[in-house]
Amino acid sequence: AQKITQTQPGMFVQEKEAVTLDCTYDTSDPSYGLFWYKQPSSGEMIFLIYQGSYDQQNATEGRYSLNFQKARKSANLVISASQLGDSAMYFCAMREDSGNTPLVFGKGTRLSVIA
Amino acid sequence: EPEVTQTPSHQVTQMGQEVILRCVPISNHLYFYWYRQILGQKVEFLVSFYNNEISEKSEIFDDQFSVERPDGSNFTLKIRSTKLEDSAMYFCASTIGGISSYNEQFFGPGTRLTVL
């Protein structure tokens, strides 16, 4: 069974600094996708970044990058140059096999950016 | 940019009442999902829907839940007899579908259900 583990319930970072949010996963399927979502206090789920299990390079999207270490089954999110608007819950999620199976989410990490 | 919409944004109901949560997925998407998030907890999968039938459901999705696509645009989640523990944020999501593990699921803004 799929499992996503986010071990940091809360993180603090100084504005303009970089921060890494940890995510480890467990799957026996060789084909899977990893996703990060941001959930601000307003509640909506905002897609940030995707990494496929067969992708050779780490994904990047603007200030977001994914540190994908396949052998360690980790997919950490790195946010560079943190901004006050980055304060939110961040969820790691995984989907096995095809793009139609449901996402399995971790418990999330609450990031607080301090001025 | 196309988006998933959900109505209402917030629904308050009495225990034992029926509620219907509505979603309009993105028009060319083929797979639809309902997830729920109890306050302060992770997002949990409820059910997926394709070609007018349920393709997968979780243990949470018991007999009190049902889904329907009554017309070409709406996708609904019905809770027949609400319980206090049904209080949660309910998210609808849709994806265009395909064999790649990347098919971004577009989430709606959610409906916050409060059962009193």
Query: Is the Cβ–Cβ distance between B44 and B60 less than 8 Å?
Result: yes
Measured between CB atoms, does B22 come within 8 Å of chain A? no
Query: Is the Cβ–Cβ distance between B112 and A43 less than 8 Å?
Result: yes
Both structure tokens of B65 = 């839940």
Both structure tokens of A64 = 């977001």
Instruction: Determine the residue among B23, B37, B43, B95 to mutate to test chain A binding: the one whose Cβ has the most chain A Cβ atoms within 10 Å.
Output: B43
Measured between CB atoms, does B31 come within 8 Å of chain A? yes
CA–CA min distance A22, chain B (Å): 16
Both structure tokens of B70 = 């009554």
Proportion of chain B in helix, strand, coil states, percent, rounded to 5: 5, 50, 50
Check whether B29 has a pLDDT greater than 70. yes
Residue A89 to residue A110: CA distance in whole angstroms? 4
Check whether A98 has a pLDDT greater than 80. no
What is the arithmetic mean of pLDDT over B57-62? 94
Q: What is the pLDDT of residue A91?
A: 96
Look at B43 and A100 and tell me if their CB atoms are within 8 Å: no
Residues whose CB is less than 8 angstroms from the CB of residue B22 and which lie 6 or more positions away in sequence, other chains included: B6, B7, B8, B74, B75, B76
Instruction: Please report the number of interchain residue pairs, chain A to chain B, with beta-carbon separation below 8 angstroms.
Output: 74
Confidence of residue A26 (pLDDT cuts 50, 70, 90): very high
- Tell me the chain B residues in contact with residue A44 when contact means C-beta distances shorter than 8 Å: 107, 109-110
The per-residue pLDDT of chain A, averaged, comes to 93
Residues whose CB is less than 8 angstroms from the CB of residue B37 and which lie 6 or more positions away in sequence, other chains included: B43, B44, B88, B89, B90, B91, B110
Q: What is the pLDDT of residue B34?
A: 98
B1 or A87, higher pLDDT? A87
Half-sphere exposure of A107 (CA within 13 A, CB side): 8
Half-sphere exposure of B114 (CA within 13 A, CB side): 5
What is the arithmetic mean of pLDDT over A3-9? 95
Nearest to B95 among A53, A100, A104 (CB): A100
Look at A44 and B35 and tell me if their CB atoms are within 8 Å: no
Look at B110 and A50 and tell me if their CB atoms are within 8 Å: no
Nearest to A50 among B95, B104, B106 (CB): B104
Residue A37 to residue B107: CA distance in whole angstroms? 10
Q: What is the pLDDT of residue B54?
A: 95
CA–CA min distance A83, chain B (Å): 23
Where do runs of H (alpha helix) occur along B73-115?
Answer: none
Both structure tokens of A55 = 């992708």
Nearest to B101 among A32, A37, A105 (CB): A32
- Residue A50 has phi, psi (to 5 degrees) of -130, 145
Check whether B73 has a pLDDT greater than 90. no
B35 or B103, higher pLDDT? B35
- Structure letter (DSSP) for residue A95: E
Rounded to 10 degrees, the C-alpha dihedral B104/A46/B74/B97 comes to 0
CA–CA min distance A66, chain B (Å): 15
Nearest to A95 among B101, B106, B107 (CB): B101
Confidence of residue B58 (pLDDT cuts 50, 70, 90): very high
Both structure tokens of B112 = 């916050």
Half-sphere exposure of B33 (CA within 13 A, CB side): 25
pLDDT digits (tens, 9 = 90+) for B80-110: 999 999 999 999 999 887 666 567 789 999 9
Q: What is the pLDDT of residue B71?
A: 86
